[in-house]
Each structure stands twice: as C-alpha cells, then as structure tokens.
Structure 1
Amino acid sequence: MRLSTVILPVRRWSEGGREVWQRAEELGFHAAYTYDHLSWREPFRDGPWFGALPTLTAAATATSRLRLGTMVTSPNFRHPVPLAKELLTLDDISEGRITLGIGAGGSGFDATALGQEAWTRRERTDRFTEFVPLLDQLLTHDEVTHEGTYYSAHEARGIPGCVQRPRLPFAVAATGPRGLRLAARYGQSWLTTGDPVANNAGTPAESFAALARQTEGLEKACAEAERDPDTIGRTLLTGFTPDRPLESTEAFLDFAGRLGELGFDELALHWPIPGTPFEADEHVFERVATECAERLHQR
C-alpha cells in the first residue's frame, strides 16, 4: 500500500509553501495532491487559498521524485479544452509526475463562483460524463473537434502530447453507478472519501461496510466494461470517515490493514493544519509517513 498526502493551498510559496512540498518528498510519500477549488468550506473560506495548477507547477520545480496531482478537479469551473493544455504543460514541466484527480464536483462555493445557479447532482453528473471522455480525447490526440451538449472543441491542438503515454493518469472520484462506470472505463485509479451518510452519522464499522459496498460497485462497473478490476487502483482520501487513524501509529496500521482487505492500495492523508479539522500530531504524522509506510510496504 502506498501513502500519499494532501497539501491544502493555504500557504504563500515564500512563507513555508515550498518547504512543505519538499518535506513531503523527504518523508517518502508516494504523491502529494492539492485541492482544485476556488475556495473551500470553513475554516478556510475567508483565509488564504491559492490556485491548484500554479501551485503544482511550483511544486514540480521544487521536487524531483514526488508524484503530484489534483484532488479533485471538476467541471464546476473548468472547461476541458484549456484544462487539457494546462495539464499537458504541467506534465511536461514535472517530467511525467502528474496524476489528475477528477470528480463531478459539489454544491459548495465553486458551484456558484462564476455567477451561475448551483447544478443539481444529476446535472453535475451529466456534465461529468461528457467532460471526462472529451478530456481523454484532448490528452491523447493531436487535434480534436467535438460538439457536445455541454462542451465543444474546434480543432483543439494537443501537440506534443503528454510525457506519460498515452496520457497522464486519471484518478476518478465516484460513488454512484454512473461515476463508477466512468472510473472503470477511463480511470487508472478510483478515488473515494467514503460514504457521506456513514461519514457524518455512522460508526467506523458502518463506514467500512459502506466502503465495501462502493468497492463492489466498482467491481460491477469493471465487469460491465470487461475490465479486470485488479487493473484499477483504489485510493481513499482520509479525514472524512469516522475513524481516527492519526491518533497513533497503531491506530493507523489497523485502519490501513482493514482498507487493504478491501483492495485499497493508496491512502491520502491531509498534511496537518493546526486549528482545523485536519489538525493532527505532527510527530505521529511523520512516523506514519516513514515507519508505518515501511511496514505496509513489507506486507
């Protein structure tokens, strides 16, 4: 199992931002992701919040081994054509270290920042089912023309293509049947935060059972796509289930072991931020990144 981290874009680059990404590489994390939002919920709503893709570009020049990515990009304020060009460029600058976490988006601040009414869940999914295939085309073809319900491209160029072939990997965030079908068809990995109902009101056991049902849904979607389910990675973005895996190294190893039984091969841990829901003992966090990661690798 691989351990990754999520570094929220809340620090000025010149005031500790660079050092956090470099420290993530020093600790041996597989990847470091950042949120691709225009702003986020409390307590971050009225504080510093920087753009994901410029932050990842800077991180690419400050590191050399660490994989980098978004968690997650969505159609809420992105269009596939300019996004593809930016991702192609970022993949080049990082020398092929980019993973695109991509999801349908939510109903939070991003949903209305451009002045539009927030889409319903069905409307978000409708757009997502067109967004992902078009982005796949844009990143794998020299030229794309597409006329869709929500997105169009006219002779959009993708030259010279990604460093990673046939394109940079997609980690598709999904919980429902339509999203899981997209993950099965286009994802190199599947991403989840767990079940929202179980996360908010359930016990750790109930949350684990909900995750098991999600993995069953993924396997069903893979069967429909005639894809071997073992060929798609499974990533859990931690911090939302009712578990408390960063209370101690023992708690984390138990947590990771149970998820490994469900086939998860990557856990993404939020970099600790004091005074927020992602507060954690930094000593425990670093021990998890080093000692626990080594023990998990040996299993």
Structure 2
Amino acid sequence: MHVSTLILPIHRWNEGRKVWQRAEDLGFHAAYTYDHLAWRIFRDGPWFGAIPTLTAAAAATERMRLGTLITSPNFRHPVTLAKDLITLDDVSGGRITLGIGAGGNGFDATTLRRTGEPPWTPRERADHLDEFVPLLDQLLREPSVTYEGEFYAANEARNIPGCVQRPRLPFAVAATGPRGQKLAARYGQGWVTTGDPKLFGTGTPVQSVAALRRQLDALAAAGAAVGRDTAGLDKILLTGFTPDRPLDSFDAFVDFAGTHFALGFTEIVLHWPVPESVFAADEKVFERIATEGLAQLG
C-alpha cells in the first residue's frame, strides 16, 4: 500500500523546489504532476511544463518516485517523448513512472490545432493511443527504431543508452474503456483511474466503490483477453474526482483508504493542497495523512 501526491506545476521553481522537497520529507511514495499545456481553472495563471518540472524535482530529491499523471498523444510525439524520458530517468537515478492515457477534450486537445479544426473524437484519441504506446515501448527498449504507422513515424530514432530502469521505465496506463484497459494489461506496470466521472456531482461513495469494482473486474477481463494476469499490476487511484472527501479529516482519509485498499488499489494519490481552489485542504490534516495515515490501516 502506498500514499502519493500530485503537485500542480503552478509554482515558480524557487517555491516549487520547497514543495517537492517537502513531499519527500513527509514520506510520500511518489509525487506526480499533470502533463498539460494548460488546465481548467488554472489556465490564466502560472503553469509550467511537466518534463522540466520533473527534471528539476529529480535534482532536488533523492528517494521519492516521480512521474506524470497523465501524458497523452494530444500534444506529445513518441520519438521526442522517449528522448526526454530517458534523460529524465537518468537524472532521477531510475525513479520515473510514466502515467499515460488517451487524454481529453481540454486545452491540450485544441492548442495545436488550426483555427476551426475540431479536437479528436474519443475514438480518434483511442486510435492514437493504440499506436503511441507500443511505439513508445519499443523506443524505450531498443537502441534504434525505424517505424512507419498511420499516425507516427520514426526513422532510425536512436535512444542510447536507454533507461536506467530495465527493460524500460514503468508505464501506468490510465483507462476505463476496453481498448485502453487492454493496453494497460499488455504494456502497463500500473493502471490509473479517477473513478466514474458521472458520479462526481450527484453520486454517492457507495456507488463510486461499486463503479470502481466494475472497473477492476473489467481490467482483469482485459488481462485475460491478452493472456496476462493483472493481479500484479499496480492499481492507482487519483483522488479528487469521486464523491468522497478523503481530505476533510484524518479519519475520513483512513476510512477512504481502508475501503479502497481492500477493493484492490495499491496506491492512492492525493492532490497537494492549493488554497482557494478545488484542491484546497487543511495543510495540517494533509501532513498528518502523509505521516500517519498508513500506520492507522495496520
């Protein structure tokens, strides 16, 4: 069982360094950041790049794992991303996890499009991810890759010396649909979910648990379809998007974590508090969760 945090890339580095170092001091298993060009209500404020932020965080920390939740094909290309990830894995001493998924309809989906050009449909996003993940897997494993597909190409793309982590750094695939879950089962070392978005506004915690159980069952079925037992896959729940409020109090977190660890999740990710936002939380409660939460679960 692990408790991790997600730190929004909104801090200038003279302040951001302190946040990432504090996350390590508190004992979080991992600290992630969003890989977006801009995001929701934070669009009109500071928002820094995920890979440079993680590189700086790697230099400022020593033990804690680091990663993205999530990177998507909306504005990334497998060839350039592989080069950045190999470098980041080297700088961190092999502490990087890549959270990867199809992405959504936010600013990432439109920033690189021509005026009037619509974003990809959900099916088109899934089509891109189906090609993106296998190619990225190959690029991170092999010293030279030549490939030509429907969406991506690589011509003698060189990636020497490769990742510190062998055979490559781990993928945590964010997916709730059958195509994405098959990718998670085939290529992932972890699987990520935020729950059922339809329940966020009007659902109940009980309904959310039932929905997550169905997702876990579907993941197991996807694994069976590709010949892989997903029991050993890390199951990562990014909180903040279900009807639960685990940061309301220490006891609320203990109850939430106990329920979800029993369900089969191996890692719970909490947003680092951001005052006057949807991620506002009592910092003393948050720090107590980080330092004492798992001990209360036995």
Report the aligned-residue RMSD. 0.8
Give the residue type in structure 2 aligned to 1:62: A
Q: 1:60 aligns with which of 58, 61, 75?
A: 58
Matches within 5 A, 1:16-165: 16-42=15-41, 44-116=42-114, 117-165=118-166
C-alpha displacement of 1:293: 2.5
Matches within 5 A, 1:5-16: 5-14=5-14, 16=15
Matches within 5 A, 1:249-264: 249-264=250-265
SS of structure 2 residue aligned to 1:201: coil
Give the residue type in structure 1 aligned to 2:68: T
Aligned-pair identity (%): 68
Q: Which residue does the alignment assign to 1:237?
A: 238
Q: Deviations over 1:233-287 (max 9, x none)?
A: 1000001101000111111111111111221000000000001100000000000
C-alpha displacement of 1:115: 2.1
C-alpha displacement of 1:211: 0.6
Matches within 5 A, 1:268-283: 268-283=269-284
Q: Deviations over 1:183-217 (max 9, x none)?
A: 00000000000011122321111111111110011
Q: Which residue does the alignment assign to 1:180?
A: 181
Give the residue type in structure 2 aligned to 1:257: G
Counterpart-to-counterpart distance in 2, 1:225 and 1:288: 38
Normalised TM-score (structure 2): 0.98
Counterpart-to-counterpart distance in 2, 1:237 and 1:169: 17
Q: Which residue does the alignment assign to 2:296?
A: 295
Give the residue type in structure 2 aligned to 1:155: E
C-alpha displacement of 1:295: 3.0
Q: Which residue does the alignment assign to 1:284?
A: 285
SS of structure 1 residue aligned to 2:145: strand
1:4 and 2:4 correspond? yes
Give the residue type in structure 2 aligned to 1:33: Y
Q: Deviations over 1:106-148 (max 9, x none)?
A: 0011101012421100000000010000000000001111110
Counterpart-to-counterpart distance in 2, 1:188 and 1:71: 14
Matches within 5 A, 1:159-238: 159-238=160-239
Give the residue type in structure 1 aligned to 2:6: V
Contact 2:31 2:67 (8 Å CA) reproduced: yes
Counterpart-to-counterpart distance in 1, 2:277 and 2:295: 28
Contact 2:220 2:231 (8 Å CA) reproduced: no
Counterpart-to-counterpart distance in 1, 2:189 and 2:226: 14
Counterpart-to-counterpart distance in 2, 1:201 and 1:215: 22
For structure 1, the residue ranges without an aligned partner over 5 or more in a row are none
Q: Which aligned runs of 4 or more in structure 1 are off by greater than 4 angstroms?
A: none
Give the residue type in structure 2 aligned to 1:79: H
Counterpart-to-counterpart distance in 1, 2:91 and 2:125: 31
Counterpart-to-counterpart distance in 2, 1:78 and 1:212: 31
Normalised TM-score (structure 1): 0.97
Counterpart-to-counterpart distance in 2, 1:198 and 1:239: 12
Counterpart-to-counterpart distance in 2, 1:227 and 1:258: 26
